Copies of this chain bind each other. A is one copy, B any other.
Amino acid sequence: MIDVLIVEDQTLLRDAVSALLSLEPDISVVGAVGTGADALDAAARLRPDVALLDIELPDLDGLSVAEALATSLPSCRVVIVTTFGRPGYLRRAMAANVAGFVLKEAPAAELASVVRRAHAGEQIVDAALALSTLREGDDPLTPRERDVLRAARVHSTVAELAEHLYLSEGTVRNYLSSVMHKLGARNRAEAIATAEQKGWL
């Protein structure tokens, strides 16, 4: 019997997947939660064999949860289940040593099989996603550039950014300019969009 923990913020999908997996004779859904904090909590208590993690969560993101689980409950195999095939996500996930990476575009029938294979020790990655990750270059941003770009999602004027980051306005502009150049974007908004789209933030 494989004990599974489901972590997914959309209640509807969480319930539906939970019901679906419960129908499998060799799988037992021992928990289903909607936040990263609850996930870590539940994992510690229930010690599942496999955790299905969504990336978009209200508090932490799923990858952080995966990283935390890797140390706190190494016996638990982690499968990321997410909407978007962002190459950056896949890289980070591989670094966190996850067992599998499945898109929500996949048919539901596949899910049980993925759980079994993950439990058996296999590494499962959606083929199309793996390809696009190879095709995409690596994240070209330096750490500081990433910081600034990330901050730019919230603070919309350069003055605010400069204050928040303790930098001169010129420096902030320079970072953003450099980022835009690297990403082939023509303004800040475009740069944020493409970086987000590739999962580089």
Contact = CB atoms under 8 A, between A and B. Distances in A.
Interface residues of A, number: 27
Interface string A104-125: 1111110100000000000000
Interface in A181-201: 186-190, 192
A165 to B, nearest CB: 18
B13 A13 contact: yes
Interface string A1-18: 000000000111111110
A37 interface: no
Contacts of A15: 20, 107-109
Given A156-B187, A188-B189, 12 more contacts: A10-B104, A11-B105, A11-B108, A12-B105, A12-B106, A12-B107, A12-B111, A16-B17, A16-B108, A156-B186, A156-B190, A189-B189
Interface of A: 10-17, 19-20, 81, 83, 104-109, 111, 156-157, 186-190, 192
